[in-house]
């Protein structure tokens, strides 16, 4: 019987799907230094991790029973993928499972910023009783999202979900990618109706920036800033920006300067340059809506991750048995 160790946990849905396929699941949390021993003693075939457990070359070399290594999530930076593949081990991940969750987080922040909820939620417990009218007045310059231009940087699984949500809210959409791409996006509704939109991206940063009212960054990790002072300079006055991608795609110091000058109306960060210890100047700024890297963290995404991993394991099990 194939044995799976889900060292960083797996959703109930994934667990049930594995058991239904006749696969034994060991849900333990084995410390990194004991992991090789545990895998060998239990003849584990499949190691599933999230971001906590590391799978370096040494671990791969010392575990001859491993046939599949799976990551519940998008990135594979905690796994020595090349080495695993060189040894004939399959490496799987779930690039699309949390796309919708991240996209909804983008709009949770956009709505919070557009209606000053991030600030009102902080101030109401402090001054709601003594200063109600003044607070009401200070949050009166709110805006709607409908009819505004949504600019999305990146057109992978998450970028596409962000575009779909923007379309469903009646926004105009623009997409920026390194090289122009075209994709058909389907919006599926509760009553079985479906509407398709053909969306083309462009690689002209200046054109993209000059009329985007709301900008969402949805790229993989980058070596340098995508948004720095020159890009912020070219944006519309009163722009809103959300980063749920990775810390380091936007220059946080420059962002604070442009918030200070009034050019940027508000920004939201779910990821930080100095994660997990963001700068105090970021944490204390009232124009920022902040969350501790929660983009893909929903129960729904965890279920999708478990099921997506399971489907891949079942397919590979058939291959391995041939």
Active site residues: 246, 275, 293
Cα within 13 Å of Cα(251), Cβ side: 14
C-alpha to C-alpha distance for 230 and 154, rounded to whole angstroms = 19
Sign for the pseudo-dihedral over CA of 204, 207, 210, 216: negative
Residue among 151, 117, 120 at smallest CA distance from 243? 151
| Whole-number Cα distances in Å, 160 to 185, 187, 195, 217 | 7, 11, 15, 12
The owner of tokens 């799987």 is: 92
Spell out the SS3 assignment of the chain.
CCEEEECCCCCHHHHHHHHHCCCEEECCCCCHHHHHHHHHHCCCCEEEECCCCCECHHHHHCCCCCCEEEECCCCCCCECHHHHHHCCCEEEECCCCCHHHHHHHHHHHHHHHHCCHHHHHHHHHHHCCCCHHHHHHHCCCCCCCCCCEEEEECCCHHHHHHHHHHHHCCCEEEEECCCCCEEEEEEECCCCCEEEEEEECECCHHHHHHCCCEEEECCCCCCCCCECHHHHHHCCCCEEEEECCCCCCECHHHHHHHHHCCCEEEEEECCCCCCCCCCHHHHCCCCEEECCCCCCCCHHHHHHHHHHHHHHHHHHHHHHHC
């Amino acid at each position: 019987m194939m044995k799976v160790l889900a060292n960083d946990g797996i959703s109930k849905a994934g667990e049930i799907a594995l058991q239904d396929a006749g696969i034994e699941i060991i849900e333990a949390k084995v410390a990194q230094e004991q992991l090789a021993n545990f895998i060998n003693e239990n003849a584990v075939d499949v190691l599933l991790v999230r971001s906590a457990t590391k799978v370096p070359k040494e671990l791969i070399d010392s575990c001859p029973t491993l046939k599949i290594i799976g990551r519940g999530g998008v990135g594979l930076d905690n796994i020595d993928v090349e080495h695993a593949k060189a040894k004939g081990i399959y490496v799987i991940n779930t690039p699309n499972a949390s796309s919708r969750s991240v996209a909804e987080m983008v709009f949770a922040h956009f709505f919070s910023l557009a209606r000053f909820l991030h600030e009102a939620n902080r101030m109401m417990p402090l001054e709601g009783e003594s200063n109600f009218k003044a607070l009401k007045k200070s949050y009166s310059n709110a805006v709607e999202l409908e009819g505004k231009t949504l600019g999305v940087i990146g057109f992978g699984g998450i970028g596409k979900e962000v575009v779909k949500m923007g379309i469903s809210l009646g926004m105009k959409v623009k997409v920026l990618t390194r090289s122009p791409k075209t994709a058909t996006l389907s919006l599926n509704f509760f009553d079985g109706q479906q509407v398709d939109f053909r969306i083309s991206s462009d690689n002209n940063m200046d054109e993209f920036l000059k009329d985007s009212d709301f900008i969402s960054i949805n790229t993989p990790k980058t070596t340098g800033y995508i948004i720095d002072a020159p890009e912020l300079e070219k944006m519309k006055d009163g722009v809103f920006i959300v980063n749920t991608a990775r810390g380091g795609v936007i220059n946080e110091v420059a962002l604070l300067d442009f918030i200070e000058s009034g050019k940027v109306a508000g920004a939201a960060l779910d990821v930080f340059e100095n994660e997990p210890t963001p700068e105090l100047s970021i944490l204390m700024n009232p124009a920022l809506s902040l969350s501790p890297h929660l983009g893909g963290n929903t129960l729904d995404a965890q279920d999708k991750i478990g099921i997506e991993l399971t489907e891949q394991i079942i397919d590979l099990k058939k291959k391995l048995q041939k």
